Amino acid sequence: MKITAALLEAHGHQRPYDTSRPLSIEEVELAPPGPTEVLVALEAAGICHSDLSVIDGTRPRPVPMVLGHEGAGRVVEVGAEVAGGVDGVRFGDRVVMTLLPRCGRCAGCATEGIRPCVPGSASNAEGTLLAGGRRLAWRPQAQLGLTPVHHHLGVSAFATYAVVDARSLVVVEDDIPPAVAALLGCAVLTGGGAVLNAGRPKPGERLAVVGLGGVGMSAVLTAAGLGDVSVTGIDPVAAKRDQARHLGAHAEAAPEAAEMGAFDVVIEAAGTARAFETAYRLLAPGGRLVTVGLPAPDATARSRRWIWSPAGARSLAATSARPCPPATSRDSHAGGARDGCASRS
């Protein structure tokens, strides 16, 4: 079938992107779903910093590629095995598309979300779906034949339709607005996972979030929903700090005004060396630092005792294909503000 999609043909466009226009809206061919795959009619998709990192080449991916890795929609066609029930996905389900498929059989999947799925990571790097191969193809103007187009993190949500492996999907309720459901696929999964799976604050502990974009706001929302953890939002932008208070943070501060050495858990969600350095300085002795920002590969953070580079780092928090719903909390009063974590940065 023919779909409309936002295609990245090459890396290296200069900012501002409203002038250089790195993405073009193209008519793209979409093959039918394979046995473990489904066809999703997209309802909403979010733009994440990781999309921008592919565009500017910070995170090189094969091109041409249809970007977009947090999306929500409805299943309108199912592959042969899905019809028999793969991961509980059925025709007509509303689904969230997540950035890392989970095969359920490998050594990574056996760690319950602590380590990423091995074949899922490999297919994401190759720009294919989990079962292998690509379902997208496009005819460049200067050529007669179709050129294969890569999938972004098994999703490619900047499109009218997407073929996705059922193991890249999570079924959600019909009453979640599309724009909110889409955020569950990356921002909420990453920020919420950083709190619940990695930081794991105990009752009475103090938690700080450095960087209040979509991921950081999701961490604030998740931690505030626990009900028995003190949450502080930290960002240079006052309007973002106000939004963090709106989402349930008990305090907020600019980075230079934050209380150093005072927090049991610090979540770094900005992806810059400076934010990492701030996050480290906020830690109380014995505290836990969780970093889920994606810094440039050549970024280097410094302290009096160490130099840290992302080359050897791995994000531990955002590895689950089961996004943490906002109601997953010790006292479940986080749900009311769930539609407030979209970042406008």
Contact residues: Zn ion, CB under 5 A? 48, 50, 103, 106, 109, 117, 186
Q: Nearest distance from residue 33's CB to Zn ion, in Å?
A: 20
Residue 278: phi, psi to the nearest 5? -60, -45
CB of 307 to Zn ion, least distance (A): 27
Distance of closest approach, residue 133 Cβ to Zn ion, in angstroms: 18
Kindly tell me which of 50 and 319 has the beta carbon lying closer to Zn ion.
Answer: 50
Alpha-carbon distance of 131 to 134, in angstroms, equals: 9
| Best CA proximity match to 69, nearest among 187, 192, 150, 156 | 156
Q: What does the block give as tokens for 339?
A: 């539609």
Q: Within 10 Å of residue 277's Cβ, how many Cβ atoms?
A: 17
Q: How far is the CB of 91 from Zn ion (least distance, A)?
A: 25
Least distance to Zn ion from the beta carbon of 332, Å? Answer: 26
- Taking the C-alpha atoms of residue 109 and residue 59, their distance in angstroms, rounded to an integer, is 24
The nearer residue to Zn ion, 44 or 251, going by C-beta atoms, is 44
Q: Dump strand ranges (E) for the chain.
A: 2-8, 23-30, 37-46, 65-66, 70-78, 94-97, 136-138, 147-151, 161-165, 169-171, 206-210, 230-234, 251-253, 263-268, 283-291, 301-302, 307-308
Find out whether 332 and 225 touch, Cβ atoms under 8 Å: yes
**Which amino acid appears at position 206 of this protein?**
R
Of residues 50 and 343, the one with the C-beta less far from Zn ion: 50
Q: Tell me the closest approach of the beta carbon of residue 186 to Zn ion, in angstroms.
A: 3
Task: Please give the Cα distance from 215 to 230 (Å, whole number).
Answer: 18
- Nearer of residues 106 and 296 to Zn ion, judged by Cβ: 106
Nearer to Zn ion, 73 or 201 (CB): 73
* CA gap 237, 241 in Å, rounded: 7
Residue number, 168 or 232, with CB nearest to Zn ion = 168
260's tokens: 């150093």
| Minimum distance of Zn ion from residue 154's CB (angstroms) | 12
- Output 191 or 255, the one with its CB closest to Zn ion: 191
